[in-house]
Amino acid sequence: MTSRDEILNLFRTNSDHYISGQKISHLLKISRAAVWKQVKALRELGFEIEAKHSLGYRLLAAPDLLLASDIESGLNCRLIGQTVVALTETDSTNAQARQLAEDGAIEGTVVVADRQSAGRGRLGRRWESPSGVNLYCSILLRPQIPVQQAPQLTFLSAVAVAETLEKVCHLSAKVKWPNDILVNGAKISGLLNEMNAETEQIHFVILGVGVNLNMLEEQFPESLNYPATSVLLETGKSVDRLMFLQTFLRCLEQYYAEFLEEGFTPIRQRWEGYCDTINRQVRVDQGSGSLYGTVVGLEPEGALRLQLDDGRIERILAGDVRPVTKKMDRE
């Protein structure tokens, strides 16, 4: 924990009275000047700290910031979040997590950012990441599983996001193959999992998770070619980002442990339970053209099982799946 986090903890546990600079300096074994420097830094982050001559400091209000110490405290996970890196701004939490992984960071390390300047989406797209409203996080895993099973982790994180949206925000979330979470047909969350492996061995996997929490209509880019939404737009209420993140990390830990013990089947079944295109007619748009058929579930490695009209089963490895609603969609 940094001295800034420690000072913040002291302010929080003493919020009903003043705490003197001298006492803080004594408790944390830092100079009075260092205390003052950290108070100044906290104010710059948006903390309202009252200073009264001869009494000391008192925390009046805190901004909605994701701080490492807050995320770690009360998390109660054994693996996920033992190390948390919380950044005010970064290019991409996936890029940061990859760097940390290459430098030897432990499994379960979590990187979160308040804002991403180059948030990455699937297929080289950009992920809009304005400051202070959403969740942008990446989790480092080092699973001892065959390389071809790594895509299964995408479904695991999709189930954890969907369950968190239900638990914390009381929203009915649906998953869309391969890596989207939708609410009322609009995308609320996207996943970008990246792997570093040799032929036979996974070095690490980065689970990248973006969830639109408190984003306003005008913060979505006009260029989006799909409907998108946020928790705030769906419920009319803003969501506590810290509570959402902690619930998500606990859920992820629980499903990851189950996955390592029991394999993919329980996760696959849960994912299929959240998928509303199962047993429905869909159109799959691929670079080379479109396929029509009925979604019948997931393959063991995570490919989509599509039953074509002539009864053949096609394994879909990439593409955009849309439900077919009218006859017109087939033309």
Residues that bind ligand BTN (CB under 6 A): 92-94, 116, 119-122, 125, 127, 136-138, 179-180, 190-192, 208-210
Min CB(129)–ligand BTN separation in Å: 6
Min CB(208)–ligand BTN separation in Å: 3
Residue 190 or 293: the one with the smaller Cβ distance to ligand BTN is 190
Residue 3 or 83: the one with the smaller Cβ distance to ligand BTN is 83
**Contact (Cβ atoms closer than 8 angstroms) between residue 94 and residue 138:** yes
CA dist 94 and 273 (Å) reads 28
Respond yes or no on whether the N-terminal peptide bond of residue 63 is cis (omega within 30° of 0). Answer: no
Residue 38 or 90: the one with the smaller Cβ distance to ligand BTN is 90
For residue 128, what are its two tokens?
Answer: 């809009």
Report the candidate in 97, 96, 132, 140 with the shortest Cα–Cα distance to residue 115.
132
Residues in the chain, how many? 331
Min CB(323)–ligand BTN separation in Å: 18
Min CB(137)–ligand BTN separation in Å: 6
User: Which residue of the chain is nearest ligand BTN when measured via CB?
Assistant: 190
**Contact (Cβ atoms closer than 8 angstroms) between residue 181 and residue 161:** yes
Residue 57 or 127: the one with the smaller Cβ distance to ligand BTN is 127
Min CB(74)–ligand BTN separation in Å: 23
For residue 64, what are its two tokens?
Answer: 């909605």
Residue 136 or 259: the one with the smaller Cβ distance to ligand BTN is 136
Backbone angles phi, psi at 4, to 5 degrees: -65, -45
CA dist 81 and 249 (Å) reads 7
Residue 76 or 184: the one with the smaller Cβ distance to ligand BTN is 184
Min CB(240)–ligand BTN separation in Å: 19
CA dist 240 and 157 (Å) reads 20
